Structures are given as C-alpha cells and as structure tokens.
Structure 1
Amino acid sequence: MSGSAASVAAFWAAAAPGWIRHADRHDVRGAPLGEVALRSLAVRPGERVLDVGCGCGGTTAALAAAVGGAGVAVGVDLSSAMIETARSRFPAGRHPGLRFLAADVERLDVVPGGPFDAAYSRMVLMLLADPVAGCAAVRRSLRPGGRFAATVFRAGPGNAWLPAAMLGAAPHLGALPPLPVGDEPGPFALAEPRRIDRVLTAAGFVDVAAEPHDVVMAAPDEPDDVAEWLIELGPAGAPFRRATPDAQRAARAGAVKLLARFREPGAGYRIPSALWLITARAPG
C-alpha cells in the first residue's frame, strides 16, 4: 500500500470484504496479537476507553466487557463497511456503553465520546498514512495522564507467516498492489523502536516505550481455511476475491505449502508473531 491517505482508504475499501468474512475467525485466532496491550492497559470498570482501528468490532466489545455497564468503549475505524459490520455484530441494545464510529482518525481533532481514560490499538498504527497525526488525535482525545497501549509488528523472521501467505498465493493471482517501502504504511512501518519513539513523541505523548513480545496464534488443522484466512487479511486479499475459482484453489494450495512449517498434522497451526508493545501516556 502506498503512503497517501487516498491510497490507504482505497486499499481498505478493497480489503474490507475479507476482514468482514473472517471476522469471527479473526476475533479468536488474532486475539494474541493484542493481549499484551490489553494486559498493559488494565482497563477498569467504569472507565471510558477508545479502540483505534477497531475493524469489525471484536476488540471494542472486549473492552466494553472490561469497563462494564458504567463504562464506555468507542471503536473508530476508517472502513465504513467494517463499522457497519461491527454494529450488526454487537448491537447497541445488547452492549451498553459500546459505540462505533466510521472516521479517519488522522483527520479528527478529537474522537467523539471522550475524554477517554485509556486508548488501545491492535496492529493498526503502522497502517496509518500519517501516524503522527493519528496518534496526536488519540492523545488529544485522552484525559490528562490518560494511558495508551498498542501493538505493531517487529521486523525479521519472527513474522514469517506474513510473506508465506502472500508469496504462496501471488503467482496465481496476477498483479498485486505494490509492497510498501520504507516508512510507507504497511506491516513493518513501525518495526524500528526509534521510529515508534519519534512518532509518539511528535504526537505529544510522554513516557513512550516499546517492549518486544513473541506470541503465537493458534488455528485448527484446516489447511485451506487457514490459508484463505491469511490470504484475505493481506494485500493479496482483493485479487484473490476477484480471481476465478481455479485460480483461488491454486492460490490456496500455494499458501498451504509455504505455511506448512507452522502446521502439526492432526493438532493444528501454531503461527508465531513478533510484536512491539507500545505504551505511552498523555501529559498531565
């Protein structure tokens, strides 16, 4: 994905159907990607919490459960399609205090519903076209001293499943979107802790820290299902959905082959991910 706000919005408009289709799977399988940030944030009953890049709403619903009926959890996401899915999956009448907003956080002064006691983000900050602007909006939406915890990918072999899913599928799907370069939005745009510090400090946060964590996503021993889930959540997702059934079968088979290193036949998949836990605080 290239770096302009328009290109990022176009990417997510094309990617949203895959995230919507796999929302239930990803709530379960992708949970380890955010658990360290949830533990660090230590949300308490009655607090007001912001979920930045909430997708189809599963993370916001978990935050709403933590703050209870006296608290508020607001999920914001660029994709209006995913926000509509979140609202249908977690109706307001069944989840007091749970709200969803379709908006580009980079273009907001503050997120409605604040000031918030805490903010959370799972694997989203590295995908922002202007992470300083997005994080500054989060900081302005927090009360003085408000807490922020987020996760992003580290670089290196700890995330080998990311290229495996894409490279296995790519030869069968035609042209794919250009891969991000340098600081362009993408999985590894915040892989360097020095850039994390620069971005959050420029956004006005204090006490910025990045701590390495290694986690494992578990999935059942269903190779085609696992391959399709990982293909559809990545840059090959939109070309995969446009492909013919024969091409889709070939793409799944290619991904299955490269993902085999993470499979224990009969037991399932254990997919390692290397993360940074980012923590920071609003001044005051």
Structure 2
Amino acid sequence: MADTAALRARSADFWARTAPGWIHQADRHDEIGRPLGAVAIEWLQPRPGERVLDIGCGCGGTTAELARAVTPSGSAIGLDLSEAMVASARRRFTEPDGAGPRFVAGDVETLDVVPGAPFDAAYSRMTLMLLADPVAGLTTIRRSLRVGARLAATVFRDGPANPWLPAALLGAAAHLGPLPPLPVGDEAGPFAFADPARVRRLLDAAGFTDVVVHPHDVTLETPDDPETVAEWLIEIGPAGAAYRAAGPAAQGSARAGAARLLARFHTPGTGYRLPAGLWSITARTPGTGAS
C-alpha cells in the first residue's frame, strides 16, 4: 500500500485528469445523482441563516441546493480539490451581482480550517471515502465547525451493493488505453468506507461525537438512452481520462461495452434503474468545544 503522500499525489493527478468528464456531465449528474446525497440533506435540515460547508462540491450542484435552503441570511461554501471543477461551479452558480454560493479550491486534508469557518453544519455527498488520509480530512472539517455543529454525509457501502459501478468500468476498459491504478484495501476509492466499524473509528479519531452509521438504499433512475448513460458513467469514473483520449471508434466500443454489462439494469421504454447501497453518516462536534 502506498504511503499517504503518494496517495495524495495520485489523487490530485486522478482528479486533474477526471475533472473534464465531471464538468461535461455536470447537469446530468446533478439530476440523476441527487438521490446519492438526499438522505444527508434530509437529516441535516439546513435552515435560513446558517452557514453550511459542502465538502467535495464538484461542479457545485449540491452547494447551490444548500445555499437555497439557507437563504436569505445564510451562506454555503463548496470546497473541492479540483480547481477545474471549482471554476466550473463558479461559472454555473455565481450570480451576476456576485451573490450565490461561494466555492474554494483546496485539499481538506492539508488545510488547517476551511476558508469561511466556522460553519453551523457540514455536508458531503460521496467524498469522504476518497480521502487519502481520512482522519486528517475529517479533523479539518471538525475544526471548521462551531461547537455542537452537525455533519451529514453519504458514501458507498461495497461493490456488491453497487454492482453497476464495476460493470460500467469493466465494460469500457477493454476498449481503452491504460487506466489509473485501482485502490487496494483501505486506499481512497469508492468502497474504502465499506466497513462501518472503520467509519466510526475514523470519525471518533477526528474528534466527532454522536457518530451514527446507517445503511441506506436508493435507486438512480436514468433516461432510456444506453449510449448517454454509458458515457455518463464512463466519464465520471476511473476510465474517464482514457475515454477522452481515445478516438471515436474506441469511444463507441467503450460505450457499447459498458451498455452491454449494464443491460440487466435496463428496461426498454423506461430507462435504467441503478441500485445504490450507501452508508448514511451523521455526527456532531463536541459541545464543549474543539481545537
């Protein structure tokens, strides 16, 4: 297993290469991917006047939703490692008068506190499992929150609970160039938080209290368009950079390969129903203060 510095460098390189796919698919992912974080927003219950932090905001859709919930006197700040995605978020959601959510590019693992702290609440959709050093990242989040503040997040459980993720990758990979190294063991990746006991240990180590980890199942519903759905999943996944570097013929073969392995989730005339097994994670900062 690589050391933390190497994992951080690998992560930064991966997201630099992957960001164009997320930017291209931003509107589609905002629509189809909303169920992946809905349970966390429901628990968080952001209220007007609150200051909310969105960790791993990507292209800004989740931050914009949080900002709408806390208007008119509250604010939402989205943080993401990818400068390109943060720039996209600003283009998509900054209003002509400069109002709207704010976005910050930075590594939550190496910041002391997130700019704009302290916050009343923190939210994260499918990001905590991608941290090279989860305790460092969670500790930054905790330091950025007020006393007694709330954290709500979602992560994937394991591969069997999310069978469409490996299907899209395996279907496309045979038609593309070399892919980035896949995570090993607890290394950052989609299933790094599969063990709920480990999730609790990490939040405890970062100084959170009242940690609760619950299973939560959702279904992602997509249009009845196999090529579009295949391209969406390829572009936001590990094969995204190789897909964009490939020629039209190879891209078409990759889409067809992914669509073949995703066919079991497809109902002609209706679309795809992709089952997603999540952990819903909630916690608070200590009521006596944190440093």
Q: Same fold (TM over 0.5)?
A: yes
The equivalent position to 1:64 in structure 2, one of 63, 67, 70, is 67
Q: Are 1:38 and 2:41 matched, yes or no?
A: yes
**Corresponding residue number in structure 1 for 2:207:** 204
Report what 2:179 is aligned to: 176
Whether the aligned pair in 1 keeps the contact of 2:94 and 2:102 (CA below 8 Å) is no
Report 1:1-284 matches (<5 A). 4-93=7-96, 96-284=99-287
Summarize the Cα distance change of 1:95–1:234 in structure 2 as closer, same or farther, 3 Å threshold. Answer: same
Return 5+ residue gaps in structure 2 as ranges: none
Letter aligned with residue 65 of structure 1: R
How many Å separate the matches in 2 of 1:273 and 1:124? 15
TM-score normalised by L of structure 1:
0.98
- Change over 3 Å in CA distance of 1:94–1:163 after alignment to 2: farther
**1:44 aligned partner, one-letter code:** R
Deviations along 1:92-138, whole A, 9 cap, x unmatched?
44673511000001111111112101000000000011111111000
Give per-residue Cα distances to partners, 1:156-188, cap 9 Å, x unaligned.
422000000000001101321121011101000
Q: C-alpha distance in 1, partners of 2:10/2:200?
A: 26
CA distances 1:77-105 after superposition (whole Å, capped 9, x unpaired) = 00000000000000144673511000001
Task: Write the letter of the residue equivalent to 2:70.
Answer: V
What letter corresponds to residue 83 of structure 2 in structure 1? S
Alignment partner of 1:157: what SS?
coil
Shift of 1:198: 1.0
In 2, Cα distance between the equivalents of 1:10 and 1:250?
A: 26
Write the distance in 2 (CA, Å) between the matches of 1:77 and 1:135: 14
How many equivalent residue pairs?
284
In 1: Cα distance, 2:102 partner to 2:252 partner:
39
TM-score (norm 2): 0.95
Structure 1 consecutive aligned stretches of length 4 or more whose deviation exceeds 2 Å: 92-97
Distance of aligned partners of 1:100 and 1:112 in 2 relative to their CA distance in 1, 3 Å threshold: same
**Compared CA separation, residues 92 and 139, structure 1 to 2 (3 A):** farther
| Other structure's SS at 1:279 match | strand
Distance in 2, Cα, partners of 1:261 & 1:213: 22
- Partner amino acid for 1:101? V
C-alpha distance in 2, partners of 1:135/1:97? 26
Q: Secondary structure at the match of 1:70?
A: coil
Q: Which amino acid aligns with 1:43?
A: P
Relative distance call for 1:249 and 1:95 in structure 2 (3 A) is same
CA deviation after TM superposition for structure 1 residue 33, in Å: 0.2
In 2, Cα distance between equivalents of 1:224 and 1:179? 25
AA in 2 matched with 1:154: R
SS of structure 2 residue aligned to 1:215:
strand
Q: CA RMSD in A?
A: 1.3
